[in-house]
Amino acid sequence: MAEQANSSGLEDEFATLHEFVKAAKMKLSPERWDYVVGAAETETTLKRNRYAIDSMAFRPRVLRDISAIQCTAPVMGKKARLPVMLAPVGGLERLDPDGAAAAAKGAGLFGVPQMLSSVSAPGLEATAKASSGRKFFQLYRRGNDQATDEIVDRAVDAGFEAFCYTIDSAFYGRRERDISRRVSNRSIIDDGGDYRQQSLSWSEVKRYKDKHGHKLPLILKGIQTGEDAAIACDHGVDGIYVTNHGGRQLDHVRGTLDTLPEVVDAVRGRAQVIIDGGFYRGTDIVKALALGADTVAIGRLYLYGLAAASSMGVARVLEILEHEIKTCLGLLGLDGFAGIDKSFVHPAPSLTMPHVHSAFPLLNLADEGYGGR
């Protein structure tokens, strides 16, 4: 495949991904920086996300024709430039004045979908208008059934292609970076709305599928066991989103890449499998697909691009990620994702002390990384 042209215009300013981390930290206040990089309590879950990825080594094959490498892959049934999407993140307006609309523009410009968080300004319709790219909508359930139904209809009218419930947020994780600064980022709970995540159950999944399943495919975000993945598939769920909320909810759970194999085994091809959790590099994306994921959602990584250079920053992050993925595929002896499977990876000891930026060894971690002030 011929190299696709870059369209961000930031090739000279940002040549590597870690440069976005540095630029974002320089632009953000300490409180907003902590919001981006922090996690719950001891931040063990965040570290385990990286440890799981770093504890998987490649088994490259040689003497294969890789003169034409194809990085495109389907995301929720339709072709995307990469098997990647932007994860839903609340409060994007804290990182860029245009918030989720700027992220949508960057994703659309590059050619991957955005999943919009219901707690990110400027909201559903305005974000949809900002980009011609593909869009999925994520909801924290609030209000009664009628309120949810109205949001589904608004999403359909605005051109969203899938609907997602976040299901791991019955309680808001204790994010001690925020607590220690006496800063509240709990917008989904603290704004006086009728927060109903604690009453969310499989009955609501059934209700959605019965009433809205013909309108928008349903994704469940927050599945961390094979048992729950199987139940979701039995309910006809279209997308199984493996995540621990970037380590920001329950502390001391497994890294998502450790969780992935049992979920894939339980799903048995009945739904698309999406994963996030510490995925920062092209090699990370390839490992996830080798272990059975269909799509990788990036979170913090695109936030650095957004904070550093708005929508063009998001697009440039994706351009670099694409280059890394193509290089990885080629050196594995693959001309695309069609032939990838678990034979290309093998467990191996991690050689890196895991933390939020351990994927970027060129950072001065005392200044730019985990706990930097």
pLDDT digits (tens, 9 = 90+) for 119-141: 999 999 999 999 889 999 999 98
Residue 8 lies in a domain: no
Residue 171 lies in a domain: yes
Q: What is the CATH number for 201?
A: 3.20.20.70
Per residue in 314-351, is it b (16+ CB within 10 Å) or e — as a string? bbbbbbbbbebbbebbeebbbbbbeebeeebbeeeeee
Residue 312 lies in a domain: yes
Q: What is the DSSP letter of 88?
A: P
210: confidence class by pLDDT, cuts 50, 70, 90: very high
- The gap from C-alpha 97 to its chain's centroid, in whole angstroms, comes to 21
Distance CA 22, CA 364 (A): 9
Q: pLDDT tens digits, residue range 81-102?
A: 999 999 999 999 999 999 999 9
* CA atoms 227, 232, 235, 236: torsion sign: negative
Q: pLDDT tens digits, residue range 212-271?
A: 999 999 999 999 999 999 999 999 999 999 999 999 999 999 999 999 999 999 999 999
4: confidence class by pLDDT, cuts 50, 70, 90: low
Cut 0.75: pTM above it: yes
Residue 131 lies in a domain: yes
Residue 4 lies in a domain: no
Mean pLDDT of 11-36: 96
| Cβ-based neighbours of 24, under 8 Å, separated by 6 or more | 33, 36, 95, 303, 304, 305, 307, 308
Tokens of 8: 């961000």
Residue 155 lies in a domain: yes
Maximum distance among all Cα pairs of the chain, rounded to whole angstroms:
61
Residue 3 lies in a domain: no
Q: Are strands 295-298 and 84-86 parallel, antiparallel or unpaired?
A: parallel
Domain count, the chain: 1
* 143, 166 contact by CB (below 8 A): no
Residue 62 lies in a domain: yes
18 is an active site residue: no
CA of 295: how far to CAs of 121, 171, 231, 335, in Å? 25, 27, 21, 18
Please give the pLDDT value at position 368: 46
| Cβ-based neighbours of 129, under 8 Å, separated by 6 or more | 101, 158
| DSSP string over 117-160 | ETTSTT-HHHHHHT-SS-EEEEE--BS-HHHHHHHHHHHHHTT-
Q: pLDDT tens digits, residue range 272-321?
A: 999 999 999 999 999 999 999 999 999 999 999 999 999 999 999 999 99
Tokens of 296: 């990788």
- Structural domain of 74: 18-368
Distance CA 222, CA 267 (A): 15
Residue 373 is which amino acid? Answer: R
Burial of 51 (0-12, 13-18, 19+ CB in 10 A): buried
Which residue of the set 18, 245, 355, 357 is catalytic?
245
* 113, 80 contact by CB (below 8 A): yes
Please give the pLDDT value at position 218: 98
326: confidence class by pLDDT, cuts 50, 70, 90: very high
Of the chain, the percentage scoring pLDDT greater than 70 comes to 93
